[in-house]
Amino acid sequence: MKPVSLPRELAERSRKLEQEAYSYLVAGDFVRAEQTYRQQYEILKEEEQKLGQDEKYHKGGPLHNWGISLLLQNKILEGFQKIALAYIEDLLNSPNINDALSAPAFKTLTSYPLISNDFLKSLEEITKKRRENNRVPRDPEEIIAEYRREGFADLPASFTVAKRPPITIKQIIPAIEKQMDELGTKEKRVFIGGNYRNIAVLRHIKDIVERIDNFKAVLPIDLPSLSSESQDHLIHDTSIEYLNRCSCAIFEVSISNGHLMEIERARDISGLKVLLVFQKTKPDERPTVTRMLMTTEFEKEGYGNFTELTEKVAAFFRSLTARESMAF
């Protein structure tokens, strides 16, 4: 069983549903987001039945987002069950099974301290055997079913009691402030945000920023851990604390999801200058993100290559300098 690309018409249909669901997330309508992501998944699953017997679609994206929309409704168990299925899809479909360990589903599951590592490892081992024996299923539920047949604890039991209370954001504020102080003054700090699937571009933006007038880029994923204990469950809160301690922010919004909450929070931070950049293939092309995002007062620039991206970022900082000079 090998994964195949979605045909053009199905890909467009799926993309529109994802955009619709994402707009509901922005508006805070998590129930409708859940319903739309579920519809996206079910359509892919239904269309998958029309493929050849050795072909399948990768359905991890809608499963992961479906799970996120459940978590936002505080449906913790249901949400993580869907994200576990997304993780299985990544394990089944990634060219190299280890690639699944850097995908969003695995990172989300490991960010929650009460999910057993043994549970995740068992799913990986079962899937690996299936791949080796050419028994890759279309339905990720088959892996869960096999996991249960082998006598492992079910997912609810995998939410084991932590040995110690999880660290809170308040406890690491001093460490965050120390990190930021080491990067210089707030006026020179620039937050870099976006979907980490686009990490190469985010790091390129970081390099551009740090070549301009002694600015220091704050890319959370590249900052050292705040302590020897796992802080994964604080990733979002920590990013917001970093954002609050910067004077500017650049968000790469070509790939939706992952940075939405940071952008929404950025709207409420007084004095924060924000630039949204996105990739385009045509002069008038707009990114596939919610209209609400594109109607913000933030500056927005499209680019077709890294040279244009460098020029747009540099122009953003030149305009800031000009405005500050006029203010005096």
pLDDT digits (tens, 9 = 90+) for 115-143: 888 888 989 999 999 898 888 898 998 98
Count CB atoms within 10 A of the CB of residue 295. Answer: 9
Confidence of residue 160 (pLDDT cuts 50, 70, 90): very low
Confidence of residue 239 (pLDDT cuts 50, 70, 90): confident
**Structure tokens of 237?**
């809160």
Higher pLDDT, 317 or 154: 317
pLDDT at 246: 95
pLDDT band at 44 (very low <50, low <70, confident <90, very high): very high
Task: State residue 161's pLDDT score.
Answer: 37
Query: Could you give the angle at which helices 169-182 and 235-244 cross, rounded to 10 degrees?
Result: 50
CB 172 within 8 A of CB 234: yes
Counting residues of the chain whose pLDDT is more than 70, the rounded percentage is: 84
Span 251-280, mean pLDDT?
82
Q: Which residue has the tokens 């279309």?
A: 138
Work out the average pLDDT over 201-221: 93
Say if pTM beats, i.e. exceeds, 0.95. no
Residue in the structure block whose two tokens are 């913000």? 296
Please state, in angstroms and rounded to a whole number, the distance separating the CA atoms of residues 232 and 95: 26
**Residue 259: both structure tokens together:** 């940075």
pLDDT tops 70 at residue 55: yes
Q: How would residue 305 be classed by pLDDT, with cut points 50, 70 and 90?
A: very high
Mean pLDDT score across all residues of the chain: 83
Would you state the structure tokens that stand for residue 141, as one six-digit string?
Answer: 């539920």
pLDDT of the residue at 102: 87
Closest by CA position to 240, among listed 172, 307, 159: 172
pLDDT in tens, 82-93: 999 999 999 998
Cβ-proximal residues to 78 (8 Å cutoff; 6+ apart), any chain: 67, 70
Q: What is the pLDDT of residue 291?
A: 52
List C-alpha distances in Å: 300 to 1, 187, 203, 267, 295: 42, 21, 19, 14, 10
Q: Give which of 250, 265, 263 is closest to 310, Cα–Cα.
A: 250
- Residue type for 179, please? Q
295 has a pLDDT exceeding 90: no
